[in-house]
Chains A and B, each alone.
Chain A
Amino acid sequence: MRRLVWLFVLLAVITAYPLLFSTPFQQRLGALVLLYAIAASAWNVVGGYAGQVSVGHVVFFGCGAYAAMGAYAHFGWSPLLGIPIGIVASVGIAAVIGVPTLRLSGHYFSMATIAVAELFRLIVTNTPYLGAGVGLSGPTVPRNVFDLSFISALPYYYLFFAVLAVTLAITWWMNSSRLGFYLRAIRDSERAARSLGAPATRTKLYAFMLSAGLTSVAGALYAMMFGFIDPESGLGLLISVKILIMAALGGAGLLFGPLVGAAILVPLEEISNSLLGGKGAGLTFVVYGAIIVLIARFQPGGVLALAQRYWLRRAAATTQPQVASKGAVHAP
């Protein structure tokens, strides 16, 4: 019951934000938070829930982005029609990476994802059909509403909000389904889960494919908002880093972790970029690196897990005296 109340408060806050903070900068910031929250929530499905750390998730992001822009640039379609193409391509790539590596220890998976992301960046950079180093552009002047090309960030904001809600609903549904039970069992002890008959490799693969498809949607939305995609913004390692750090900082394996992480880091980056200008580019990632190291070393559960522990301890502290007095009554 109380959880439901919190959920409605959260929904109300997200709905009201762009109306309360209505400058273009603030609305754009809000839209970016939601966009990265989508990508990070998608990563969370495989990185958090399945415990398989993908460090090359940008390849799926890029698939979606390139499919959306390609649909327009080559066929004159609405970028929306590229989304299914991007999803199919991403799920296929995920299968190609996942089938051999998810049988092995988690390190192989991480190494393979980073190699695939680099491979695709190099391939796209050298393929004129995909814009090579220059990239692909979306419609400069929107032909109709299906081009999803708006000047204001407000329509994007609510679009991203809706997609985020769907992404989180899918994640929640997955976690409470049979797949979710398998994933939890595998994350705790893969050997034990296997011995009890949980199909570990297949379960991890499904989670990875689901995550890949969702990430490609985030990529397509990104490309539509910016109207442009190139190898650096669509397939660069740093996009993987952003996706990963937001989920890990907020709380990997927690439903709202990635949203919390995005809400902390996106404004931080925008502010540091506007304060430091071009000089800050390197420094931002120094700070990101430091944050990742500190999370890994001291708080692998992320900020939300820390908060949860704090609440539990407070709850325990308020109930303990009652237990003690009860004991005192029974003592004589």
Chain B
Amino acid sequence: MSSTLLQVIAGGLLLGAVYALFSSGLTLVWGMMNIVNFAHGDFVMLGMYVAFVVWTLFGAGPWAGAPLAVLVLATLGVTVYFTLIRGIMKGPMLAQILGTFGLALLLRYSVFWWFGANFSSLPENLVGGTLEFWGLRIQASRLLAGVVALAVTLALHFLLTRTALGSKMLAVAEDETAAQLMGIRPDTMQAIAWAIAAGATGLAGALIATFFYIVPTVGETLGIVAFVTVSLGGFGSVPGALVAGLLIGVIESLSAYLIGAVYKDMVVYALFLGFLWFRPQGLMGRA
């Protein structure tokens, strides 16, 4: 394998880890409440803009931007849960989909209206320059994003499977009434799930803002990436989202390198449709 190809794969894995991070938020909410958040990509977009605003106002890098983005988005997540999701969760399918889809438009075009349609970006070497390992040249910003995203996604998995809070959340996902009888408040757990899911998107947004283009409509593309990741990984599964996220990152980078940059999104969307045809339960899902 040539070193260019290895470099492309490494870049894909690092970006894929970020995909995995925000997709695990989507899969958590979907698995727990059977709600698909159509505004998920736009949450990531908001995270990017928080990082952007922090940099333009205070000149601070992701060290300040990322925690703030987590905080802002987690607050937004809880607010959205209590004002919107709780009301539509048990409603008809039309209301569920329109509710979050409308939210997506509201967020996307509020940002559009405020910041304009122009592409912005953070300065290139905000996180340091380019590092070299074993002949691979990797941007420090991408490395930071990939490593942090990977660590947080794994932490999320352990939170869900190894802690009391995680068990409570899974209990609510399994059977709300039974969980309530055991003294677990479904409302609190679901609000926490929204805080975690939205917080993850905030972190992911702040991380990729360091090397990605920032534009109000980026949420649409990222939202579809999250759908692809979740349907590939099987809904409700964080490890599934991790594997699928890494895989999609690599496929995207490889197709950009081998076929051409304009075709990378097409490949991912076509892959999604192919999966819906042949394996709708995902790679690791139950039949």
Contacts of A96 in B (CB 8 A): 273
Q: Which of B222-281 contact A (CB under 8 A)?
A: 223-224, 227-228, 231, 262-263, 265-266, 269-270, 272-273, 276-277, 280
The interface on chain A, measured as residues whose beta carbon lies within 8 A of the other chain's beta carbons, has a size of 50
Q: Which residue of the partner chain B has the closest CB to A96?
A: B273
Q: Check A241/B99 contact, CB under 8 A, given A111-B227, A118-B265.
A: no
Contacts of A298 in B (CB 8 A): 87
Q: Which of A73-129 contact B (CB under 8 A)?
A: 96-97, 99-101, 103-108, 110-112, 114-116, 118-119, 122-123, 126
Q: How far is the CB of A51 from chain B (nearest CB, A)?
A: 6
A51 and B113 contacting across the interface, CB-CB below 8 Å:
no
A119 and B270 contacting across the interface, CB-CB below 8 Å:
yes
Interface of B (DSSP majority class):
helix
Contacts of A252 in B (CB 8 A): 94
Among B109, B270, B272, contact of A285 (Cβ-Cβ < 8 Å): B109
A116 and B98 contacting across the interface, CB-CB below 8 Å:
no
Q: How far is the CA of A325 from the CA of B107 in the complex (A)?
A: 55
B105 and A289 contacting across the interface, CB-CB below 8 Å:
yes
Among A51, A100, A115, A285, contact of B269 (Cβ-Cβ < 8 Å): A115
Q: How far is the CB of B256 from chain A (nearest CB, A)?
A: 13
Q: Which residue of the partner chain B has the closest CB to A53?
A: B97
Contacts of B36 in A (CB 8 A): 107, 110-111
Q: How far is the CA of A107 from the CA of B231 in the complex (A)?
A: 11
User: Is B5 interfacial (CB 8 A cutoff)?
Assistant: no
Among A122, A283, A284, A292, contact of B101 (Cβ-Cβ < 8 Å): A292
Interface residues of chain B, those whose CB is within 8 Å of chain A, are 30, 34, 36, 38, 83-84, 87-88, 91-99, 101-110, 112-113, 117, 220-221, 223-224, 227-228, 231, 262-263, 265-266, 269-270, 272-273, 276-277, 280
Q: How far is the CB of A106 from chain B (nearest CB, A)?
A: 4
Q: Check A289/B109 contact, CB under 8 A, given A101-B276, A118-B269.
A: yes
Q: How far is the CA of A17 from the CA of B91 in the complex (A)?
A: 39
B273 and A119 contacting across the interface, CB-CB below 8 Å:
yes
Contacts of A166 in B (CB 8 A): none
A283 and B273 contacting across the interface, CB-CB below 8 Å:
no
Q: Check A112/B276 contact, CB under 8 A, given A47-B94, A51-B94, A118-B269.
A: yes
Q: How far is the CB of A90 from chain B (nearest CB, A)?
A: 16
Q: How far is the CA of A237 from the CA of B112 in the complex (A)?
A: 15
Q: How far is the CB of A208 from chain B (nearest CB, A)?
A: 14
A110 and B94 contacting across the interface, CB-CB below 8 Å:
no
Q: Which residue of the partner chain B has the closest CB to A253?
A: B94
User: Is A306 interfacial (CB 8 A cutoff)?
Assistant: no
Q: How far is the CB of B279 from chain A (nearest CB, A)?
A: 10
Most buried by B among A101, A115, A244: A115
Among A107, A112, A290, contact of B273 (Cβ-Cβ < 8 Å): A112
Contact with B along A279-319 (1 / 0, CB 8 A): 00011111011111111111010000000000000000000
Contacts of B228 in A (CB 8 A): 115
Among B92, B95, B272, contact of A297 (Cβ-Cβ < 8 Å): B95
Q: How far is the CB of A6 from chain B (nearest CB, A)?
A: 26
A293 and B99 contacting across the interface, CB-CB below 8 Å:
yes
Most buried by A among B36, B102, B106: B102
B95 and A293 contacting across the interface, CB-CB below 8 Å:
no
Q: How far is the CB of A97 from chain B (nearest CB, A)?
A: 8
B266 and A53 contacting across the interface, CB-CB below 8 Å:
no
Q: Which residue of the partner chain B has the closest CB to A291?
A: B102
A53 and B98 contacting across the interface, CB-CB below 8 Å:
yes
A297 and B280 contacting across the interface, CB-CB below 8 Å:
no
A100 and B92 contacting across the interface, CB-CB below 8 Å:
no
Q: How far is the CB of A127 from chain B (nearest CB, A)?
A: 11
Among A100, A107, A119, contact of B277 (Cβ-Cβ < 8 Å): A100
Q: How far is the CA of A157 from the CA of B82 in the complex (A)?
A: 45
